[in-house]
Amino acid sequence: MSQAPSTSFVQHLNFLARDASNESAALQAAVSLGLLNPLGATPVPLSELARRLGANVRGVRSVIEPLVALGFVTLEEGRGYSLPESTAAFLSDASFMSRLKENHDGWHAVALLPQAVRTGADVEGRDVLGWYRALFLEPQVSAPNARAEDFFDRSARNFARTQALVTAAELGLLERWVKGPGSLDALAEALGVPARSLEVLVKVLATMGIAQEVEGTWAFTEDAARMLDANSLPYFQRALPATMAYWEALGHLDEAVREQRFRLDLRDPQTARRIYQENASRISGIFASHLRLSRKAAELVRGMRSLAGARVLDVGTGSGVWGAAFGLADPSTHVTFLDSPHVLDAVRPHLAKLKLEARSRLWEGDCLSVDYGEAAYDVILLPQIIPALPSESLPGFFAKLARALRPGGVLLISGYLLTDRRDGPLDALYFALRRYVSNEGDVLSMPEFRALLNPVGLTSARGFDLPIQQVVVAHRGEHAWPEGAA
Ligand SMILES: C[S@@+](CC[C@H](N)C(=O)[O-])C[C@H]1O[C@@H](n2cnc3c(N)ncnc32)[C@H](O)[C@@H]1O
């Protein structure tokens, strides 16, 4: 029987696939915006920092919050941001800072890596393979201190690691390694690329713990082989196109913060249509595993109130996986699935398969402008939709939803939940950064949710940890919380 890969390796690879480029973008934008320059030992409030930079508050916050979580900036509650000595030390090291800035220049070049490996030549006048060799395979100039080295690695190498992974997937190298090892020449022939350029990619993947050389052949490391098999590889690779969809926008994060110009603007209907359609088809592919999660949430609500005859509304339904769980939780529920028309096409086949069609309604509309009516629903679901909505629309949106909830009604919000100080978890902050760079909404903390829920009468609210997501459940105080509620 094969052993499971180590948890830390799984986290490492998932980080490279999803978040490493967000991390590099945040650190690079902090440097290019000069965001850290006004900071010292005395805390500077966020609004003052944004004012000094001539930038947008929300944008500055989405860049600086991950830096706080990583320990490069200190947040003193109620006072603002300051710099720990270790960060101040490397910021004032001119040669280190110029090396850092030089490497940031690689953002758009590394996206050309697949082409560089295929041709073995310069692409658009850039020696992309040489850039990788210099950064990963040749002796490195040492940084002034360990924190500086860490900053450099995250800022200058992480996005390049993601691109190496994307290239390995795109060229079919990961798929080839699932079948077993091969010599460099055999791999190059199978992939139809020059062995010399493939060698650079393979050796970079070795520095990332993905590949290893064994007696003249190259193969997955043991951990990579355990994590990436014929079943799991397609699932893993599905995250990569979504990462690439944000690549250009993240490369211009500084511009988005300074000028509020968004290269990937989800408030543009055409762009939103394309991205949400891709998202719905991607999450449809993982419907079964998502359903296990949403069914747990349905159980949680059923532990608080009966679902017999319940009218349920799933807002921003995507694949329909949350509403479907409530459809399955009791044979007498009726579920309304609300999203835009092109997304609802992805819901129909799931409802047919689960035999839920007769108790379902598909509702095409914009959740911010439709009329929800009064006392129409017992349960309203907001699964991963809040970060997609402009923050300024939320008070009015919650007021409409509260009006639509029947007595005893429950509102359930799922997705990421930030700590009360908004200083973690890191993956939630990176998710929030992507929302900023695509001109969407924000990820919120429990106090921020309470500030929206209390004024509309949903005065009882708690957060719960489910596997991979958190949920916030809110009501008017009519229900007892289940045992062990946070
Ligand atoms: C991140 S997806 C979440 C999908 C699904 N709820 C889930 O948790 O898997 C966000 C969904 O909200 C929908 N959405 C975004 N803005 C919307 C709006 N103004 N009105 C209706 N749906 C919207 C998108 O089409 C997309 O399907």
For the chain, domains (ranges, CATH) are 7-260 (no CATH), 272-475 (3.40.50.150)
Helix crossing, 7-18 with 20-32: angle to 10°?
50
Name residues whose C-beta falls within 8 Å of residue 78's C-beta, 6 or more positions apart in sequence.
none
Q: 2: pLDDT confidence band, cut at 50, 70 and 90? A: low
Choose one of 339, 371, 440, 469 to mutate for the ligand 1 pocket test, by most ligand atoms within 8 angstroms of C-beta: 339
Protein residue whose Cα sits closest to atom 12 of ligand 1: 316
Token pair, residue 306, equals 């009966």
pLDDT of 105 over the 90 cut: no
The mean pLDDT value of the chain amounts to 94
Per-residue model confidence (pLDDT) at position 188: 98
Cα–Cα distance between 18 and 158 in angstroms, integer? 11
Choose one of 266, 276, 322, 389 to mutate for the ligand 1 pocket test, by most ligand atoms within 8 angstroms of C-beta: 276
Share of the chain above pLDDT 90, in %: 88
Per-residue model confidence (pLDDT) at position 248: 95
Name residues whose C-beta falls within 8 Å of residue 273's C-beta, 6 or more positions apart in sequence.
340, 342
Per-residue model confidence (pLDDT) at position 1: 42
Structural Rg of the chain based on CA atoms: 24
pLDDT of 425 over the 70 cut: yes
Q: 249: pLDDT confidence band, cut at 50, 70 and 90? A: very high
Q: 429: pLDDT confidence band, cut at 50, 70 and 90? A: very high
Per-residue model confidence (pLDDT) at position 289: 85
Cα–Cα distance between 362 and 128 in angstroms, integer? 49
Q: 68 phi and psi, to 5 degrees? A: -70, -45
pLDDT digits (tens, 9 = 90+) for 465-482: 998 789 999 999 999 998
Q: 146: pLDDT confidence band, cut at 50, 70 and 90? A: very high
Angle in degrees, CA 465, 471, 477, rounded to 5: 110
Protein residue whose Cα sits closest to atom 14 of ligand 1: 316
Using CB distances shorter than 6 Å, the residues near ligand 1 are 276, 279-280, 283, 316-319, 321-322, 339-340, 343, 366-368, 383-385, 388
Token pair, residue 438, equals 């695509």
In the predicted model, what is the mean pLDDT of residues 23-43?
95
Token pair, residue 237, equals 């690779």
Cα–Cα distance between 415 and 471 in angstroms, integer? 6
Cα–Cα distance between 171 and 118 in angstroms, integer? 8
311-315/460-466 β-pairing: unpaired
Which residue's structure tokens are 């101040």?
Answer: 88
**Cα 77 to ligand 1 centroid, rounded to whole Å:** 33
In the predicted model, what is the mean pLDDT of residues 216-245?
94
Cα–Cα distance between 187 and 204 in angstroms, integer? 16
Q: What is the pTM of this model?
A: 0.94
- What is the b/e burial string over 77-93, where b = at least 16 CB atoms within 10 angstroms of the residue's CB? eeebbbbeebbeebbee
Token pair, residue 223, equals 């951990």
Per-residue model confidence (pLDDT) at position 393: 97
Per-residue model confidence (pLDDT) at position 277: 83
Helix/strand/coil for 281: helix
Token pair, residue 168, equals 């390995």
In the predicted model, what is the mean pLDDT of residues 124-135?
95
Share of the chain above pLDDT 70, in %: 99
Which residue's structure tokens are 């440097």?
Answer: 31
pLDDT digits (tens, 9 = 90+) for 438-460: 999 999 999 999 999 999 999 99
Q: Give the dihedral of Cα atoms 245, 246, 247, 252; nearest 10 deg.
A: 140
